[in-house]
Amino acid sequence: MSKQFDVIVIGGGPGGYIAAIRAAQLGFNTACIDEWKNEKGGPAPGGTCTNVGCIPSKALLQSSEHFEHANKHFAEHGITATGVKMDVAKMIARKDAVVKQNNDGILFLFKKNKVSFFHGRGSFVKAVDGGYEIAVKGAADETLVAKQVIVATGSNARALPGAPFDEENILSNDGALRIGGVPKKLAVIGSGVIGLEMGSVWRRLGADVTVLEGLPTFLGAVDEQIAKEAKKAFDKQGLKIELGVKIGEVKSSKKGVSIAYTNAKGEAQTLEADKLIISIGRTANTIGLGAEAVGLKLDERGAIVVDELCKTNLPGVWAVGDVVRGPMLAHKAEEEGVAVAERIAGQHGHVNFNTIPWVIYTSPEIAWVGKTEQQLKAEGVAYKAGTFPFLANGRARALGDTTGMVKFLADAKTDEILGVHMVGPMVSELISEAVVAMEFKASSEDIARICHAHPSLSEATKEAALAVDKRTLNF
Ligand code: FAD
Ligand code: NAI
């Protein structure tokens, strides 16, 4: 006997579990199917984000930052800390506990919102009168039917041809988050978000880290001025980043990994390392979804084809998050999940792609929203720019971290904020103000006229807005 629902969500990551909760809040009888297993084989909803992405990476970034502070910065405050040691096993166990709290939290939220959870793999069987038949195989073995199906099956790490992940020597994000001891030498291929975050974790703990990047520019999607400032800080920390390389043969042995590559000057090089993290992007995941059984359209990269409303080619079938076009970010997946649930309810769910913030949780942190200076130039938009360095911010001096700046880009005529770019302490939190401002179509003068608490890092935001009109007060 099949079980009938109004909405079935396949995938319980941030796109799926949030869509399921919102659908249930809107009064739909909702099921969510997720196959992720914890080490005991039990359910571990939350997807990549909770299990091997956002949450565990931030837990390790926090632990490793404490370690670096104790070793390198406590002395400035007059604190003597001798014999500081890192117990890697304990750090990993703490990270696992944080992950479990989040898994359990989602199971609790499903109960609270009366979402029926099924632990197993969900796949399309066929279109039926009442919508679609979905088989669940795993701990749960069921047949479900619903008129509306939301696919949120996420993404997987992209492997480098000729260097498959073994999670021992050649690591994806999964293995990178559970290295058992600090490697002496760590190689990373790809200086994108994961490469920089995970490279930072293991560098802070004492590894000699070399990041090999194929492109000649560092963080090409980031505003150039901000990327340059960040690169300066990473260089100073000893995170070695080689740009414009071409990776050759990767050999893994009992001793470690050997990576042959050509550097930017065209010289043949070999990098020997104990471990190699490959972070060269991610690919949409539709493995075992049964897309072909119902004719669900995929593009040439395997992503589910959707329109701007997240509708697929099949009536009543929607897709959100990493499995569709757009940035692979948890909050983008969540926003799409909410919007789709609201559209199913006949409401006007909306996602503004121009105000999706990006954050890289390194030290200094990097955060931005809207257009970069190079994008505005390429689009021929007349703009004004204003920057303010943390060096001139009282709170940053008190914190002992004055790296970086805040940068505003505003329309030359109307003063509307077109982009805000930050590198520095806690900018992951500061960026929200810029997102709110842009959502409300604020001008840089609006921000410049708002009272900001003193002393706070947010004063740098106000001052950068003032700088657009060349009237900073503290610089
Ligand atoms: P996922 O989170 O991948 O979830 C998909 C779920 O569907 C999984 O649980 C999977 O098991 C399940 N599934 C797949 N197929 C089936 C099936 N057929 N049946 C049942 N279940 C299925 N983003 C940020 O915004 N901030 C960050 O700080 C951040 N840090 C990251 C760090 C790392 C190391 C990585 C790898 C990613 C990070 N991301 C971050 C990206 C973020 O994790 C993803 O954008 C987000 O998880 C996408 O959510 P999703 O719901 O689309 O997919
Ligand atoms: P990425 O797209 O951020 O970076 C990949 C990098 O690898 C690029 O710089 C690219 O030029 C380089 N590259 C690609 N092929 C290469 C090759 N053959 N040789 C050398 N370099 C090569 O991808 P990453 O770091 O794997 O992360 C995947 C996604 O996960 C991110 O795009 C982001 O959406 C998400 N994520 C988000 C985080 C956050 O929001 N803080 C943290 C971590 C991941």
CATH number for the domain that contains residue 118 = 3.50.50.60
Identify the domain boundary among 262, 280, 298.
280
Nearest CA to ligand 2 atom 35: 328
Mutational test site, ligand 1, from 49, 52, 106, 142, max ligand atoms within 8 Å of CB: 49
Closest to 157 in 3D by CA, of 137, 138, 177? 177
Residues 258 and 288 in one domain: no
Identify the domain boundary among 331, 351, 371.
351
The verdict on residue 70 lying in a domain is: yes
Residues 211 and 110 in one domain: no
In single-letter form, the type of residue at position 42 comes to G
Residues 292 and 272 in one domain: no
The verdict on residue 137 lying in a domain is: yes
The verdict on residue 178 lying in a domain is: yes
**pLDDT one digit per residue (tens) for the chain, 475 residues:** 899 999 999 999 999 999 999 999 999 999 999 999 999 999 999 999 999 999 999 999 999 999 999 999 999 999 999 999 999 999 999 999 999 999 999 999 999 999 999 999 999 999 998 799 999 999 989 999 999 999 999 999 999 999 999 999 999 999 999 999 999 999 999 999 999 999 999 999 999 999 999 999 999 999 999 999 999 999 999 999 999 999 999 999 999 999 999 999 999 999 999 999 999 999 999 999 999 999 999 999 999 999 999 999 999 999 999 999 999 999 999 999 999 999 999 999 999 999 999 999 999 999 999 999 999 999 999 999 999 999 999 999 999 999 999 999 999 999 999 999 999 999 999 999 999 999 999 999 999 999 999 999 999 999 999 999 999 999 9
Strands (E), 378-454: 383-389, 405-411, 417-424
Q: In the prediction, which pLDDT does 3 show?
A: 95
* Parent domain of 410: 355-468
Q: In the prediction, which pLDDT does 335 show?
A: 98
Q: In the prediction, which pLDDT does 130 show?
A: 78
Give the β-pairing of 30-34 and 240-242.
unpaired
Distances (CA, A) of 359 to 113, 192, 200, 408, 431: 30, 12, 15, 16, 8
Residues 450 and 380 in one domain: yes
The verdict on residue 373 lying in a domain is: yes
Catalytic, 69? Answer no
Residues 302 and 437 in one domain: no
pTM score = 0.98
The verdict on residue 473 lying in a domain is: no
Q: How far apart are CA 231 and CA 233, in angstroms?
A: 5
The verdict on residue 72 lying in a domain is: yes
Residues 418 and 446 in one domain: yes
The verdict on residue 164 lying in a domain is: no
Residues 292 and 151 in one domain: yes
Residues 303 and 389 in one domain: no
Residues 8 and 71 in one domain: yes
Number of compact structural domains in the chain: 3
Q: Is 224 known to sit in a ligand binding site?
A: no
Residues 266 and 308 in one domain: no
Residues 272 and 174 in one domain: yes
Give distance in angstroms: CA of 426 to centre of ligand 2: 22
Nearest CA to ligand 1 atom 12: 11
Identify the domain boundary among 280, 308, 338.
280
Residues 361 and 382 in one domain: yes
